[in-house]
Amino acid sequence: MQPLKIGQAAREAGIGVETIRFYERKGLVPQPPRPRDGGARDYGGDTLWRLKFISGAKKLGFSLAEIAELLELRTAPNAGCGEMQTKARAKRNDIQARIEGLVRMRNVLDELIATCPGHGEIRQCSIVDAIEGNGTN
Amino acid sequence: MQPLKIGQAAREAGIGVETIRFYERKGLVPQPPRPRDGGARDYGGDTLWRLKFISGAKKLGFSLAEIAELLELRTAPNAGCGEMQTKARAKRNDIQARIEGLVRMRNVLDELIATCPGHGEIRQCSIVDAIEGNGTN
DNA sequence: TTAACCTCCGTATCATGATACGGTGTCAAG
DNA sequence: CTTGACACCGTATCATGATACGGAGGTTAA
């Protein structure tokens, strides 16, 4: 199996080459070893998997720090599944809270959209007034 | 009516004084004129309204750039309610997509937590596959 | 063999959204 | 009349998440 080069991996993960190097510097993915023959590094296998994982988690709104934690859930020493379970639970609650915040946001927007007539002058737009009220809370 | 000073306005809008100045530099709010008598600027009226609007819109997940557009809509001569509604809808769909991703993530984590025996290797945990799948899309 | 296109690496720069710092001025209470 | 709390202003710094640049070298295909 010939090496998956960084450009290839970038395309597969839907990110940029520079971004991969950035993740390496951040320690989110290990930099694959350079082959003895001096060719390009191999970004396939686990490295590609991690890149895809990061890309996916980012789309869900996780920060790189959080993604690092998620990755640790898996990378951790085989010994204790219990500790991992605890971490997973904490992360689940994190996510649940985030969902609830977003649902509230969505509901407010739904209400605004429903109330707005959708035509006429902006002066009478109920959305504008409602957003202002939202700031005071 | 005596002038609403910047500190007062900041408290009313629920933001910091430095943040107001930052918004001024960004052009999101005009800097109120300094009175001829040399006292403090008046951050009441429309300025306060804008600060509250910004604060409220931020809570709904709008970026400052988006908020600038929303504010312009209001100032525009023949701006309609329709445009405002369109933007609100777009943001709503944005948020909805994020919610759906997070719900998937939460469900996978729930499954992991339920399936995990509490001991042994974490490698078989399925949490990660779902996230990875999300990255490829 | 020469152009096009990569890899590799260090360093620099950018965008976003603030927050902090330092100095000056003003005002009001004690 | 001094102390303290602000206002005002320019500039600096921060965190996060990238993206760009420059130059050396490798690979490939016309």
Report pLDDT for B135.
46
A137: helix, strand or coil: coil
Checking if the pLDDT of A13 tops 90, the result is yes
Domain containing B89 equals: 81-137
Report pLDDT for B136.
43
Enumerate the residues of chain A whose CB falls inside 8 A of the CB of residue B82. 118-119
When pLDDT is averaged across residues A18-31 and rounded to a whole number, the result is 96
Checking if the pLDDT of B31 tops 50, the result is yes
**Averaged pLDDT of chain A:** 83
Residue where one domain finishes, among candidates B41, B64, B79? B79
In a shared domain, residues A67 and A130 = no
Residue % of chain B over a pLDDT of 70: 80
Distance CA A67, CA A56 (A): 10
In a shared domain, residues A72 and A103 = no
* A:16-45 residues touching chain B, CB 8 A cutoff: none
Terminal CA-CA length for chain B: 57
In a shared domain, residues B67 and B11 = yes
In chain A, where does DSSP find H-type helix? 6-13, 17-26, 46-59, 64-75, 81-115, 126-136
Residue of B nearest to A108 (CA): B60
Q: Within a 10 A sphere around the Cβ of B137, how many other Cβ atoms?
A: 9
In a shared domain, residues A68 and A11 = yes
Report pLDDT for B26.
95
Report pLDDT for B61.
82
Report pLDDT for B49.
93
Report pLDDT for B77.
58
CA of A51 to C1' of D26 (A): 25
- Residue B50: pLDDT band by 50, 70, 90 thresholds? very high
Checking if the pLDDT of A47 tops 90, the result is yes
In a shared domain, residues A72 and A137 = no
The token pair that represents B37 in the structure block: 């008598």
Q: Which residue type, as a one-letter code, is found at position B19?
A: T
In a shared domain, residues B26 and B59 = yes
Strand partners, B80: A121
In a shared domain, residues A61 and A85 = no
B90 interface with A at CB cutoff 8 Å: no
User: Which position has the token pair 């990755």?
Assistant: A71
pTM: 0.81
Domain count within chain B:
2
Q: Within a 10 A sphere around the Cβ of A12, how many other Cβ atoms?
A: 17
In a shared domain, residues B65 and B95 = no
B118 interface with A at CB cutoff 8 Å: yes
When pLDDT is averaged across residues B52-62 and rounded to a whole number, the result is 89
Enumerate the residues of chain B whose CB falls inside 8 A of the CB of residue A108. 60
In a shared domain, residues A65 and A85 = no
Q: What is the CATH classification number for the domain harbouring A73?
A: 1.10.1660.10
CA of A63 to C1' of C17 (A): 16
In a shared domain, residues A69 and A86 = no
